[in-house]
Copies of this chain bind each other. A is one copy, B any other.
Amino acid sequence: MTVLPSTVSTASAVPVVPSGGALRGAGVTSVTLDPAGFWGVRQGVNRAATLRHCLDWMERLGWIENFDRVARGETTVDRPGWQFSDSEVYKLLEAMAWEFGRAPDDELAALFGRLVERVAAAQDADGYLNTAFGHPGLPGRWTDLAMGHELYNAGHLLQAAVARIRTGHDDELVRVARRAADQICDEFGESGRHGVCGHPEIEVALAEAGRAFGERRYLEQARLFVDRRGRGTLAVRPLLSAEYFQDDEPVRSATVLRGHAVRALYLSAGAVDVAVDTGDDELLAAVTRQWAATVGARTYLTGGMGSRHQDEGFGDDWELPADRAYCETCAGVASVMLAWRLYLASGEVRYVDLIERTLFNVVATSPSADGRAFFYANPLHQREPGAAAVDGVNTRAEGGVRAPWFEVSCCPTNVARTLASLGAYTASADDEGVSLLQYAAGEVELGGFRMRVDTAYPSDGRVAVRVLEAPEGEARLRMRVPAWADGARLAVGGGAAEEVLPGWVDLRRVFSPGDELVLELPVGPRLTWPDLRIDAVRGTVAVERGPLVLCVESTDLPVGAELAGLEVDVAAGVRVSGDGAVVSGIVRHDRAAGPALPYGAPDAGEGERVELESPTAIDVPLIPYHRWAERGPATMRVFLPVRG
C-alpha cells in the first residue's frame, strides 16, 4: 500500500489529492477565472447571491435551528427538514470555504463562523453529530442505516472540513469534523458495527479527509465501507430494492452503475479514492469498467445521468427517454466528481470530455441567471410548459421551472460547492508539466507555469494561451482537444495553424514568457445522431455547438406552432445563429388528440400513416440547452424529429 502523506500543502487549495495516480489537480486558488467569462460570471453570481440564498432558506425553514435544538436539548421527531437536511448546511459550509479560499469576504466569513459555532454546539461529547437521530425524543443512533443518512450527513461535514483545511484554516470546523470521523471509525471499524450507509458519501469524504488530515485510519474506514457494500446488509423498505442502494452487488464485481444515480456515483467516486490510495488495481478496473458501460448506454447527450424519476435511478441500457430524463443536477455534480478522480488516476482524456459536457449542459443548466433558482431534474424534452416559477418550496421533480428551493433541496448547495471550486477542475499537473483541461478566460498558475488564457469559449472556439512564467528547462504543456472537435487547429508562437486531432495536443519544449499558443476549436453547429438502440429518440437528430447541446424552445416558434408538430429537414444543413443555430423544418398545426386511440388505421401502410393537417415550413431556431426556460414557461426539445 502507498503511504499517505502526513501533511498536504494547502497553498493552492486542491479539492482532491490522491496519494497515487497519474496526475495532480489544480487548486481553487491556482486558477483565476475572469469575472466576465462563461464560468466567471457563474462563479460571481454564486458568491454574491447563491450562498446567502441557501443560508436564508435553511434559516427560514429551521434546518439550521435544528442544530440549536440539539444544543438546547429540545429535540423532537417533528423537527423541520428531512433526515438529510444537516448535509445541506455542510454543503453550504463547503461552498463558502472554497469561496474564502479564492478571495476573502469578511461578511461571509462572519456568517460562516457563526454557522460553524451553531453546528459545533450540537456535537456530542464523543463526536457524534446529527440533528435527526441520537438525542432525546429522536430515534437512536444508527437505528436506520438504510434511510437515516447519518453517515451521509457526516460525509458532507467532512468535505466541508477538507475545504476548510485545504484553504489554510485548521479551525473549529476541522476539529468538529475530525471528532465526528473518529467516532465513526470507532463505531464502524473492522471490529465494530458491520454496516454501511444507505446513501454513499461517507466513503469519498473519509478518503479525502484522510488525505487532508493525514489520518490513514479514515481511508481504512472508507475502504471498509466500500468493501462491505453490495452484500445485502441494508434493510430494504417496501417498494425499494437492494439495487437502489447499490447493495445488490459488490463494487468489485458490478459491471455497470445502477439504482439511485447519485448514490451510485458518490459510491464510485469513493471507490476510486480507496483504489488509488491502497493501490487496489482490481477495484480501480472495476469502477473504470462500470463507468465505461454507464457512459456508453446509460448517459444522456448532456452528460446527464439517471433515466428514471422512479427511485431517481439509472435505467436499463438504452433506456434514455428525453421527456422523462431525470438527470438530476446532483447526479451531474456526482458524475464530475467520479470522472475527475478517474482522470487523476489514469490521465485519460475521455473523462475530461465528459466533465466538460456535464458542466456546460447539466451544472450550468441548473441555476438561474440570478443564482436564486435551480433546476432539480434536467429533462431533454418538455411536453407541457412548466408552471410559472413559485417563490417557495417546490416538489423536487418538476421539470420546466427553476425553483428557489425544494422539499429535497440537495441541488442548490451542490451547485454552489461545485461552482465555488470550479477552477480546480480546469487544469492538472504531473512531474513533466501541465495539462489544460477546460477552457475559460483567466489565469492559471500551476506546475511552474503561469499562463493567461484569453477566450470567449464556448461562444467562440479561439483559445489563446500566453505563457507569463515558465519552468526552467524542457517542460510539457498539454491541451485537450475535445472529442467533438474534428478539424481543430493549433498555432504555436505565431506560426501557421496546423490541424490537431481530438485527444491531447502535447507540446514538449522549453517554454518562455511571451510564448503564445492559439487553439481554434470548431464550435459551429453539428448534427448528432443517437445510437439506433436508443428507442426513445429513434428518428431524431440533435444539434450541438462545441460543448453545448442545443434545443428548440416553444418561445422561439411562430405563434400557434406547437413543438409536438415539429419536424426538421436536415438536408439543407444547419446554420449559425448567434450562440445557437437554425435548421429548416415544418410544424403541423392540428394537434388535438382525437377520441380514438392514437394508433393508426388497421390497414394503413407506410404511406398512410396518420398525417396531421397544414404543415407549414419554418426556420427552427435553436438555443443552448443551458439557457432554456429563462423566458418563462415553455415546451422544449433537444432531439428533433427528422422529416420523412
Partner-B contacts on A (CB < 8 A): 238-241, 292-293, 295-299, 301, 308-310, 315-324, 350, 354, 357, 381, 383-384, 395-397, 407-408, 483-486, 526-540, 542, 544, 564-565, 567, 570, 591-606, 608-612, 641-642
Interfacial chain B residues near A296, Cβ < 8 Å: 592-598
Secondary structure at the A interface, as helix, strand, loop or mixed, is loop
Q: Across the interface, do B597 and A299 meet the contact criterion of CB distance under 8 Å?
A: yes
How near does chain B come to A570, taking the closest CB pair, in angstroms?
7
A321 vs B603: C-alpha distance in the bound complex, in angstroms? 24
- Listed A/B pairs (19) with beta-carbon separation below 8 Å: A238-B407, A241-B395, A292-B594, A296-B593, A296-B594, A296-B596, A297-B598, A308-B324, A316-B384, A317-B384, A323-B535, A381-B535, A483-B602, A486-B601, A526-B603, A528-B602, A529-B609, A530-B599, A531-B610
Interfacial chain B residues near A292, Cβ < 8 Å: 593-595
Given A595-B292, A602-B486, A239 and B350 contact (CB-CB distance below 8 Å): no
A278 vs B530: C-alpha distance in the bound complex, in angstroms? 55
Q: Which 10 A/B pairs are nearest by Cβ-Cβ distance?
A: A296-B593, A297-B593, A292-B595, A529-B600, A539-B539, A309-B310, A531-B598, A316-B383, A538-B539, A484-B602
> Which single residue of chain B is at the shortest CB-CB distance from A540?
B538
Which of A310, A396, A485 neighbours the largest number of chain B CB atoms within 10 Å of its CB? Answer: A310
Interfacial chain B residues near A641, Cβ < 8 Å: 532, 535, 538
> Which single residue of chain B is at the shortest CB-CB distance from A562?
B533
Interfacial chain B residues near A594, Cβ < 8 Å: 292, 296
| From B295, B323, B485, contact of A596 by CB (8 A) | B295
Interfacial chain B residues near A315, Cβ < 8 Å: 323-324
| Copies of this chain in its oligomeric complex | 2
Q: Across the interface, do A395 and B239 meet the contact criterion of CB distance under 8 Å?
A: yes
How near does chain B come to A192, taking the closest CB pair, in angstroms?
29
Interfacial chain B residues near A538, Cβ < 8 Å: 538-540, 641
Q: Across the interface, do A598 and B395 meet the contact criterion of CB distance under 8 Å?
A: no
Interfacial chain B residues near A295, Cβ < 8 Å: 595-597
Interfacial chain B residues near A570, Cβ < 8 Å: 606
Interfacial chain B residues near A324, Cβ < 8 Å: 308, 315, 319, 321, 324
A326 vs B610: C-alpha distance in the bound complex, in angstroms? 25
Starting from the known contacts A529-B609, A542-B599, 6 additional A-B residue pairs (CB-CB under 8 Å) come to A292-B595, A299-B597, A321-B321, A532-B609, A535-B537, A570-B606
Q: Across the interface, do A600 and B308 meet the contact criterion of CB distance under 8 Å?
A: no
A324 vs B601: C-alpha distance in the bound complex, in angstroms? 25
> Which single residue of chain B is at the shortest CB-CB distance from A293?
B593
Interfacial chain B residues near A301, Cβ < 8 Å: 597, 599
> Which single residue of chain B is at the shortest CB-CB distance from A538?
B539
Given A309-B310, A383-B319, A596-B350, A536 and B533 contact (CB-CB distance below 8 Å): no
A567 vs B538: C-alpha distance in the bound complex, in angstroms? 12
Interfacial chain B residues near A320, Cβ < 8 Å: 598
Given A564-B533, A565-B533, A593-B297, A310 and B397 contact (CB-CB distance below 8 Å): yes
Given A239-B397, A603-B486, A533 and B609 contact (CB-CB distance below 8 Å): no
A612 vs B538: C-alpha distance in the bound complex, in angstroms? 15
How near does chain B come to A237, taking the closest CB pair, in angstroms?
10
A603 vs B564: C-alpha distance in the bound complex, in angstroms? 27
How near does chain B come to A445, taking the closest CB pair, in angstroms?
33
Interfacial chain B residues near A241, Cβ < 8 Å: 395
Interfacial chain B residues near A321, Cβ < 8 Å: 321, 323-324, 536
Given A309-B309, A310-B310, A594-B296, A600 and B350 contact (CB-CB distance below 8 Å): no
A564 vs B532: C-alpha distance in the bound complex, in angstroms? 9
A530 vs B538: C-alpha distance in the bound complex, in angstroms? 13
> Which single residue of chain B is at the shortest CB-CB distance from A398?
B241
Q: Across the interface, do A527 and B605 meet the contact criterion of CB distance under 8 Å?
A: yes
How near does chain B come to A274, taking the closest CB pair, in angstroms?
22
| From B239, B564, B604, contact of A528 by CB (8 A) | B604
Q: Across the interface, do A317 and B239 meet the contact criterion of CB distance under 8 Å?
A: no
A453 vs B221: C-alpha distance in the bound complex, in angstroms? 74
> Which single residue of chain B is at the shortest CB-CB distance from A533?
B564
Interfacial chain B residues near A381, Cβ < 8 Å: 535
Q: Across the interface, do B526 and A318 meet the contact criterion of CB distance under 8 Å?
A: no
Interfacial chain B residues near A316, Cβ < 8 Å: 323, 383-384
A484 vs B526: C-alpha distance in the bound complex, in angstroms? 43
A567 vs B539: C-alpha distance in the bound complex, in angstroms? 13
Interfacial chain B residues near A322, Cβ < 8 Å: 535
